[in-house]
Amino acid sequence: MLWSVAEDTEASLVIRRSRFIAWVVPLNDESEVEGHLGQSRQRWPGATHYVFAYRLDDRHPGRGYDAGEPHGTAGAPVLKAIAQRGLYFTLVIVVRYFGGIRLGTAGLVEAYHQAAAEALDKAQKVPVIDAVRVVAVVPYSAWQSLQEWMAGRQGWYKADYAETVKVTLHVEPSEVEPLTAWIGQRGGKVVETAAVGWQRP
């Protein structure tokens, strides 16, 4: 299981007259980065720099972009803030409006890291799992027990109630076989399983 952010979060600060706005965004894959960057330019037009960094799964080291700031002073400290919090599938864009006072190399590193850290610390964290979707039908007599079974595992579910309970569960691959057996033993039936990749609730 990995951790990500649940929803967009912002923080802003002013350092020696430069304004830094950090925008944290849940990210599903690399193809979404350019779209979010375009949104940031629309939301905060005329900024001096649009620095960003992102991290995907645990096989992806993450990337940071300085966006015209001196090399290593912007994207890297933003990426470091993401990594320090153990977050994945997360994009942080830091918009800077230059205030006329140069911050120097160390000052830029500190400012970009601080802006990203403040926004990340405000964000709600959620689990992300390499999920299999399991659709099952269970009798009401087994429904409470199934909820208790899920409570002790990583994953989530959504239920529709009719004559029986039709439940769609997202679980880790290792849980599919025991879950299928558990449901069958209690008079239920799994009607579909499908690997859906990395998912958040």
DSSP letters of 102-158? --HHHHHHHHHHHHHHHHHHHSPEEEEEEEEEEEEEE-HHHHHHHHHHHHTSSEEEE
- Sorted by where each begins, the domain ranges of the chain are 2-123, 126-199
Which CA distances in Å does 98 have to 51, 101, 165?
A: 13, 8, 57
CA 32 to CA 89: how far, in whole Å? 11
Which CATH code fits 126-199?
3.30.70.240
Dihedrals φ, ψ of 119, to 5°?
A: -70, -40
Question: By the 8 A CB rule, do 156 and 133 touch?
Answer: no
Write down the pLDDT at residue 149.
Answer: 87
Which CATH entry fits the domain spanning 2-123: 3.40.50.300, 3.40.605.10, 3.30.230.30, 3.30.530.20? 3.30.230.30
Tokens 């690997």 correspond to 195
Residue with tokens 């964290």: 125
80/73 Cα distance (integer angstroms): 11
Residues with Cβ within 8 Å of residue 32, at least 6 apart in sequence: 91
Give dist(CA 100, CA 120) in Å, integer: 27
β-bridge mates for residue 52, sequence order: 65, 93
Return per-residue pLDDT of the chain as tens, 201 residues: 799 999 999 999 999 999 999 999 999 989 999 999 999 999 999 999 999 999 998 888 899 999 999 999 999 999 999 999 999 999 999 999 999 888 999 999 999 999 999 999 999 999 999 999 999 999 999 999 999 988 888 889 999 999 899 999 999 999 999 999 999 999 999 999 999 999 988
| pLDDT at position 63 | 94
Contacts of 154 (CB under 8 A, 6+ apart): 1, 127, 129, 171, 172
